[in-house]
């Protein structure tokens, strides 16, 4: 593990396991890289370099006031790729992290990133309808009222398969490690960002994995991504809600191995 300075006085936490072709994981709201540990261990054991980042404001990374937005998170990811001198990178993004990695692939023209995987990605628009924006406004008020209770309820609704009380607590506690500023700004980004105009700029091979029972980011988002990204593959996870990294963890690992090999 290491911390990489992405701008003066601001560092992000990086978990770096294994060696070989790099696969970089970008978590979603309100989690950290630890949601991917099962996949990271399995990939490292198969001869890949599995790299998990805690976005600024989340997990073990610094929590500044400024820069809690898609553009700065993209810039931070690029700084990590450059600092580690990575080549032939597969970017894997979950939920909000999927929107961020899609934004990266669409805007950075970075030849070092050669593949993209979107997992339950909150793209191209996380809140396409007025009722979706109203729901996010409710989330923001719930965060400001009781962030710990919000994290517990958010995690509980994200899964189709039942969670043990211990796993629910583990994931909810991840949400309480996020700064209050970041929790609110992340929801504002999800509410306001529209990536539709840029999605067709993604020219690298793309795999879309989406839970059929996802109530946080309905599978219609994955279908829209497939339409907007040239030659993208859509894999439906029939036994998953939003948490396919756990609900069908073995199938997801195999999908990643097949895609990157």
Torsion on CA atoms 126, 59, 11, 187, rounded to nearest 10? 20
Mean pLDDT of the chain: 97
Active-site annotation holds for 213: no
CA distance 256 to 23: 9
For residues 141-146, give the mean pLDDT.
97
pTM of the model: 0.97
21: Cβ–Cβ under 8 A, 6 or more apart, which residues? 48, 49, 88, 90, 260
> Does the annotation mark 258 as catalytic?
no
Give yes or no: 242 in active site: yes
CATH number for the domain that contains residue 129: 3.40.50.1820
Rounded CA-CA distance 240/238 in Å is 6
> What is the token pair recorded at 232?
């993208």
| Chain segment 42-81, per-residue pLDDT in tens | 999 999 999 999 999 999 999 999 999 999 999 999 999 9
Q: How far apart are CA 161 and CA 231, in angstroms?
A: 31
Q: What is the pLDDT of residues 147-163, one digit of tens each?
A: 999 999 999 999 999 99
Across the chain, where does the E strand assignment appear?
Answer: 2-7, 10-17, 22-26, 49-53, 89-94, 113-119, 206-211, 233-237
The stretch 113-124 carries a mean pLDDT of: 98
Residue whose C-alpha is closest to residue 5's, from 82, 88, 101? 82
Query: Helix 130-145 crosses helix 180-192 at what angle (to 10 degrees)?
Result: 180
What pLDDT does residue 175 have? 94
E runs forming strands in 158-232: 206-211
State the average pLDDT over residues 167-177: 96
110 has pLDDT over 90: yes
pLDDT above 70: percentage of residues in the chain: 100
Q: Which of 32, 95, 179, 240 is catalytic?
A: 95
Given the residues 76, 103, 214, 240, the one annotated as active site: 214
- Dihedral in degrees, nearest 10, Cα atoms 166, 151, 51, 213: 80
Active-site residue, selected from the candidate residues 33, 103, 210, 242: 242
Average the pLDDT over 133-151 and give the result. Answer: 97
Boundaries of domain holding 179: 2-260
Confidence class for position 1, pLDDT limits 50, 70, 90: low
pLDDT number for residue 42: 98
Are the C-beta atoms of 80 and 108 separated by less than 8 Å? no
Q: What is the pLDDT of residue 164?
A: 95
Q: Into how many domains does the chain fold?
A: 1
């Amino acid at each position: 593990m290491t911390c990489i300075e992405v701008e003066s006085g601001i560092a992000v936490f990086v978990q770096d396991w294994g060696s070989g072709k790099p696969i970089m994981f970008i978590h979603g709201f309100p989690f950290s890289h630890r949601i991917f540990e099962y996949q990271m261990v399995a990939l490292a054991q198969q001869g890949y370099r599995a790299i998990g980042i805690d976005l600024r404001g989340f997990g073990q990374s610094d929590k500044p006031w400024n820069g809690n937005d898609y553009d700065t998170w993209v810039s931070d990811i690029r700084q990590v790729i450059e600092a580690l001198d990575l080549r032939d990178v597969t970017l894997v993004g979950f939920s909000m992290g999927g929107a961020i990695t899609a934004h990266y692939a669409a805007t950075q023209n970075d030849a070092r990133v050669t593949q993209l995987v979107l997992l339950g990605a909150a793209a191209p628009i996380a809140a396409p309808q007025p009722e979706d924006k109203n729901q996010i406004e409710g989330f923001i008020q719930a965060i400001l009222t009781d962030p710990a209770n919000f994290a517990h309820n958010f995690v509980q609704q994200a899964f189709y398969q039942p969670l043990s009380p211990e796993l629910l607590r583990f994931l909810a506690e991840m949400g309480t490690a996020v700064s209050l500023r970041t929790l609110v700004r992340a929801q504002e980004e999800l509410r306001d960002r529209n990536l539709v105009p840029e999605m067709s700029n993604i020219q690298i091979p793309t795999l879309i994995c989406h839970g059929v029972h996802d109530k946080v980011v309905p599978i219609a988002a994955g279908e829209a991504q497939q339409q907007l990204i040239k030659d993208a593959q859509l894999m439906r996870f029939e036994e998953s809600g939003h948490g396919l990294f756990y609900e069908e963890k073995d199938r997801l690992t195999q999908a990643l191995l097949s895609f990157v090999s």
